[in-house]
Amino acid sequence: MSLTTRSAVLTAPQGAVEVRSVDIAAPGPRQVLVRMEACGVCHSDLFVSGLAKLARTPLTLGHEGVGRIEAVGEECSDWRTGDRVGITFLGSTCGACEYCRSGRERFCPKQMNTGYTLDGALAGYALADAAQVVRIPEHLDPAVVAPLCCAGWTAYGALREAALSPGNSVAIFGYGGLGQLALQYALAQGLKAAVSDVSQMKLELARTAGAFLTTGGQDSGKTLQKQAGGVDAAVVFTNSIAAMQQAVKSVKRTGTVVLVGLTMQELTLSVTEIILKGIRIVGSFLGTRADLEAVIRLAGEGGIQPAVQKFALEEAPEVLAQLDRGEIAGRAVIAF
């Protein structure tokens, strides 16, 4: 059995994205075939589209999808036809290395990634590894839950890396798709949350959403020190080097700075400041399997409300262009 479906395809490295018909193979022994209901469009799709070298093209983009299982491989005992699942950037892992065996499979050196080294979920149908998909509750709108499979998961994992307790304070640098969700998680966890962003419009949104302090620009670290006595942790979702430097200045002694936004640039920091203040700087990539399940559970309980704008698959190339120009508010989601 094989079938043909419409897919948002990156035609060549740094090439055009086109919606075209693509053949999908029958699922392998440990794969499921998913009929997609929704898939978010992420900045990482733009990042992949802009890379000079890719393991394979043409490549179907998309790595935060929700759909229903249409067919299961012969060795999949956990899933049935009709089950609703989420697909993430973690396409497959080796299952045997020290990272895979300790719940840190997102650092598996042999991992394959959806919409990057594997065909993705911006398509009518997608193949996925049965061990990596996550169950999605029936009552949720697939378009609202799809962004949780990347943005929501990553934001949750980053906040957990900060290792905070109720009453602690956290500064969120970058109030975009991830920052908005991080603020919701932080407030739900009983944290006091401040937001730093260069956009006044976004700071206004953050105040309405419950941030106790908002600040922006070059002095945000100093402002957080002055007005809040520093924060226990700062999480940087933007890829701005200046924001990372301000985040380091914003934390209290022994505070934690979590870096999430990817850039190819180098970060310059004061060694003295880091050592004498005992600052911990950590990188955070995706999250654990338990984090992903916690995010989906929270959504099921109505605890998170990602703001989404829905589009049709045929609009995917234009949506990517709009995302690149910073014209998308909330998360753009392709609904099938």
Q: Which residues bind Zn ion (CB under 5 A)?
A: 42, 44, 93-94, 97, 100, 108, 150
Q: Which of residues 44 and 246 has its CB atom nearest to Zn ion in the complex? A: 44
| Minimum CB–partner distance for residue 331 and Zn ion (Å) | 10
Q: Which of residues 225 and 322 has its CB atom nearest to Zn ion in the complex? A: 322
| Minimum CB–partner distance for residue 118 and Zn ion (Å) | 14
Q: Which of residues 72 and 150 has its CB atom nearest to Zn ion in the complex? A: 150
| Minimum CB–partner distance for residue 99 and Zn ion (Å) | 5
Q: Which of residues 88 and 169 has its CB atom nearest to Zn ion in the complex? A: 88
Dihedral over alpha carbons 14, 20, 26, 28 (to 10 degrees): 10
| Minimum CB–partner distance for residue 150 and Zn ion (Å) | 3
User: The tokens of 67 are what?
Assistant: 């759909």
Q: Which of residues 150 and 181 has its CB atom nearest to Zn ion in the complex? A: 150
User: The tokens of 77 are what?
Assistant: 């005992």
| Minimum CB–partner distance for residue 127 and Zn ion (Å) | 19
| Minimum CB–partner distance for residue 322 and Zn ion (Å) | 16
Q: Which of residues 87 and 108 has its CB atom nearest to Zn ion in the complex? A: 108
| Minimum CB–partner distance for residue 291 and Zn ion (Å) | 15
Of 1, 41, 5, 32, nearest to 20 by C-alpha is 5
CA dihedral sign, ordered 113, 118, 122, 125: negative
Helical packing angle, 200-209 and 177-188, nearest 10°? 20
Q: Which of residues 149 and 172 has its CB atom nearest to Zn ion in the complex? A: 149
Whether the ω angle into residue 58 lies within 30 degrees of 0, i.e. cis, is yes
Question: Residues 125, 33: contact at Cβ < 8 Å?
Answer: yes
> What are the residues whose beta carbons fall under 8 Å from the beta carbon of 93, sequence distance 6 or more?
99, 100, 105, 106, 108, 110, 111, 112, 131, 132
Q: Using CA atoms, how far apart are residues 253 and 250, in angstroms rounded to an integer?
A: 10
Q: Which of residues 7 and 168 has its CB atom nearest to Zn ion in the complex? A: 7
| Minimum CB–partner distance for residue 21 and Zn ion (Å) | 25
Q: Which of residues 94 and 131 has its CB atom nearest to Zn ion in the complex? A: 94
Q: Using CA atoms, how far apart are residues 236 and 223, in angstroms rounded to an integer?
A: 16
| Minimum CB–partner distance for residue 316 and Zn ion (Å) | 15
